[in-house]
Chains A and B, each alone.
Chain A
Amino acid sequence: MLDKELRSMIGKVKDGRMDRRAFIKRMAAVGLTAPLANQILALGGVAMAEGASTYKPTKRGGGGALKLLWWQGPTLLNPHFATGTKDQDGSRLFYEPLACWDPDGNMKLVLAAEIPSIQNGLLAADGKSVTWKLKPGVKWHDGKPFSADDLVFTWQYAKDPATAAVTIAVYRDITVEKIDDLTVKITFPQPTPFWADAFVGAGAGQILPKHLFADFIGSKSREAPTNLSPVGTGPYKFVEFKPGDLIRGVINPDYHMANRPYFDSLEMKGGGDAVSAARAVIQTGEYDFGWNIQVEDDVLLRLEKGGKGKTVYAVGGDTEFIALNFTDPNVEVDGERSSMKTKHPLFSDPAVRKALSLLVDRESVKKAIYGRAGRTTANFLNGPEKFVSKNTSWEFSIEKASKILDDAGWKPGADGIREKDGKKLKLLYQTAINGPRQKTQAIVKQACQKAGVDVELKSVVASVFFSSDVANPDTYPKFYADIEMFQIPLSQPDPSQHMRRYLSTAVATKENKWQGTNFPRWVNKDYDAAINAADMEMDPVKRAALYIKANDLMWQDTVFIPVQHRLKVEAAANNLRPVISGWANETDNLFDWYREE
């Protein structure tokens, strides 16, 4: 099938019989997108393409000031301590990784000179090591040269548990060695199909200067003055930082990319809320760019009428879902609710799960709430495109749901609520306090009522719901409810981390203090096998097939009811040309931003 065709195409590109762009186009035609088409080429022995730049200015500077509005302002500027993307965004103004992801998920070189591939010898064919060549002549903002030592140091810094870096998982198991001043080799403990994680992207990839951090590794990490006043290699130099309020920077005249950056200075203002941020950018034009505009679409449409700005969207892989509890939240076994020793009294009947899935009206949720920022979906895994299953489908039908329940013996009682063997179809549905989520709850509840399913709604303050507080019963991993709704961001253009969460070894229990990531407490041997195999699988086609299989298993078992595939929404001035990627942080491609005169 696809496998064979793909291999012959890779062969053609290798021999030069097929143009790279044509290859990627063909890939897109069969449902694969650029990031994976590129990785396929890389692993097939062809170099990964660098993303095409849309940057037009022909000289450095002259663009005036760039005014950014982040309604949650960055609170610290060390990317390896970041709590949330806002801190990564703030430090990324100054620090840089080796490469980042462009809007299509292509790799874009930043501090690296060349994209590793099997062909150029930088990527090992067995997937166990990758060698990065660094750009020569790059300088830190204080004039010291940037070199391989800085990468080795960043690795040592992040992997040290005493440093307590949030990026530790990326660096803990790899080895980084210096080959020469401009070459480093990363060795993986096992074949690693997604090798572009360490030193890539804003999340974990930002490289720290050794000469300023060397004395502050491990337990002294908090004392580094540079945690709050970064000295990086980026397009803008640090001027001032007031946590939660303001970051200022000025152009770096020695920046290593030609004609970049365009703006002479930048300001990132924090605080306030998303609606007024949208207003300040779209309606009044006080700011050039507003981050993460989580506002209902009709509000945005109204602001856009005759305004000075517009909304900008980026497609990533974020999915808003409803998770089903496979254990019983109402029975306590050995002092533990939702214990693995129990089975959910209603959901142990697959018909109930199926019926519930038919009662979620994704189209209405899209129309009434998400608008342009959402896409209806049946899949838990919605990106990158290559990994998205085409075997699934969703439907909204109260009649079908009722029929399934009727057939399974769930008959309406005197109060109109269905019951079977003395068990009533009553569900507790929890989520984090959040306008769109609570509206979705209402839409689902209404449909359920019509089908004879009684739904009680509960919403928990987000800071509690998403906390790891062991003492609190209302956190999402404890899952003391029948169903719950939220979203877990897919932060890189690869699903491996995301899908490992639901391995049966990762179930959240009292024993692991509910730190396990498998909160639906769903156990499926086939799923485990597929995910574990995909982790080692170097053949990109087989690997994609494994993730699609894993997604389909979740769909068949109705572990999740995916509601919307969510897009990133930003606000930008009409004349601003921001480069936003669903696979990167908003400030990741800032060097390519400019203003159309």
Chain B
Amino acid sequence: MSQYVLRRLMIAIPSLLGISVVLFVVLALAPGDPFSELATNPNVPPEVQAALRAKFGLDDPIHLRYLHWLNAMLHGDWGFSFVSRMDVDTLILQRLPATLYVIGSAQILALLIAIPVGVYAATKPYSLFDQIANTLAFVGFSLPTFFTGILFILIFSVTLDWLPFVYTTDIKGTGIRWVLEMIRQAIMPVAVLGLFQAASMTRFVRSAMLDVIRLDYVTTARAKGLGQAKVIVKHVMRNAMIPVVTLIALQMPAVFGGAIVTEQIFRIPGIGSLLISSILSNDTPVVMAVTFVFACLVVLFNLIADVLYGWLDPRISLR
């Protein structure tokens, strides 16, 4: 087992290096530069732009810039944003709470919907409930979040005037009022994102359940006279959840990475909106850091999933 984990770890390190090289090269080759706004400003002579480029090392050859970045990164220096002239890690830490809160809540909402609905639908395949759940799931993941987001805003903010549509980190009030306001402003983004995730997850849970529910040992359990609830929960769900747990583990990076579209629509100051604004302003150090963190999380959770598999099914780690 420990050998298996070690082997996996050894694979993870070169993958991360490879990912960082690709990201760096792509960003370096991408058009646009962080000082484009200065180009039309008559107060900024070309010398200043050139000085800024030199100061930030933009004129060095790519491989030197990459080595410099890698060295800094190994020393825990994430670089600093060209646009904010602020350390990238501070910038990311500032954005993390909103992302974790909103996207995390949406994931929990998705699970709370997907597991019961998926399980129940699988126990009664092709029943009326199953068909309704299936239809809704299809509608749910066919509608993009930018559409449902604007629809929600039009209904709940503009027409009904119930909920605010600008998410703010600066809420007046303390104690219970603050908590209530935090919940109130998160309702729409969490609902939009949660329902979208729930739709695809429901389908997944349902099919995982269906795979297991037909196996012989389930029939045996039933034949032994166990109650329906006990069979489903103890025998079927437990085994059906193995791939579902993996799916959730692999979706964890998304929780940290934020939901770009939803964050833009509701002005949530999360990682997703940081990424998009950095891309738009060609703030390469921030884009590099955010995407690299994202890559690390993907690799890490893949590793966790692999290890979990090995633990759940020892045959895998022996191979």
Given contacts A165-B48, A204-B43, contact A269 B166 (CB under 8 A): yes
Total count of chain A residues near the partner, CB < 8 A: 67
For residue A553, give the distance in angstroms from its CB to the closest CB of chain B: 20
Interface stretch (choices B30-38, B60-68, B175-183, B296-304): B30-38
Query: Is the beta-carbon distance between B168 and A269 smaller than 8 angstroms?
Result: yes
Least CB separation from B46: chain A residue: A515
Contacting residue for B80 out of A167, A222, A468, A491, CB 8 A:
A222
Can you list, as one digit per residue, whether each of A550-581 has a CB less than 8 Å from chain B (1) or not (0)? 00000000000000000000000000000000
Quick check: is A417 within 8 A (CB to CB) of the other chain? no
Query: Is the beta-carbon distance between B46 and A283 smaller than 8 angstroms?
Result: no
The A interface is mostly helix, strand or loop, or mixed, namely: loop
Instruction: Note all chain A residues with C-beta closer than 8 A to B269.
Output: 242, 244-246, 271
Cα distance, A165 to B94, chains bound together (Å): 27
Given contacts A244-B274, A246-B269, A463-B280, contact A168 B166 (CB under 8 A): no
Query: Is the beta-carbon distance between A164 and B55 smaller than 8 angstroms?
Result: yes
Quick check: is A464 within 8 A (CB to CB) of the other chain? yes
Query: Is the beta-carbon distance between B43 and A83 smaller than 8 angstroms?
Result: no
For residue A78, give the distance in angstroms from its CB to the closest CB of chain B: 8
Cα distance, A471 to B157, chains bound together (Å): 46
Quick check: is B44 within 8 A (CB to CB) of the other chain? yes
Quick check: is B3 within 8 A (CB to CB) of the other chain? no
Query: Is the beta-carbon distance between A284 and B38 smaller than 8 angstroms?
Result: no
Contacting residue for B86 out of A243, A271, A488, CB 8 A:
A243
Cα distance, A472 to B47, chains bound together (Å): 19
Can you list, as one digit per residue, whether each of A61-84 has a CB less than 8 Å from chain B (1) or not (0)? 000010001000001101001011
Query: Is the beta-carbon distance between B39 and A279 smaller than 8 angstroms?
Result: no
For residue B25, give the distance in angstroms from its CB to the closest CB of chain A: 15
Given contacts A244-B277, A271-B267, A284-B157, contact A166 B43 (CB under 8 A): yes
Query: Is the beta-carbon distance between B44 and A463 smaller than 8 angstroms?
Result: no
Quick check: is A498 within 8 A (CB to CB) of the other chain? yes
Query: Is the beta-carbon distance between A246 and B33 smaller than 8 angstroms?
Result: no
Instruction: Note all chain A residues with C-beta closer than 8 A to B41.
Output: 166, 491
User: Which 7 residue pairs across A and B have the least CB separation, nearest first?
Assistant: A515-B46, A245-B269, A467-B36, A243-B84, A468-B39, A463-B32, A497-B42
Sample 28 A-B pairs with CB under 8 A, ordered by A number.
A76-B85, A76-B86, A83-B34, A83-B281, A164-B48, A166-B38, A169-B45, A203-B43, A219-B55, A240-B170, A243-B84, A244-B84, A245-B95, A246-B168, A269-B166, A271-B277, A276-B153, A276-B267, A280-B166, A284-B157, A463-B281, A464-B31, A466-B37, A468-B33, A468-B35, A469-B36, A472-B31, A497-B42
Other A-B pairs, 12, CB within 8 Å; known A166-B44, A498-B42: A165-B48, A169-B45, A203-B43, A246-B269, A267-B168, A272-B264, A272-B265, A279-B153, A280-B165, A286-B165, A287-B166, A468-B36
Point out residues on B near A: beta carbons under 8 Å.
Answer: 31-49, 51-52, 55, 80-81, 83-86, 91, 94-95, 153, 157-158, 161, 164-166, 168-170, 172, 264-265, 267, 269, 273-274, 277, 280-282
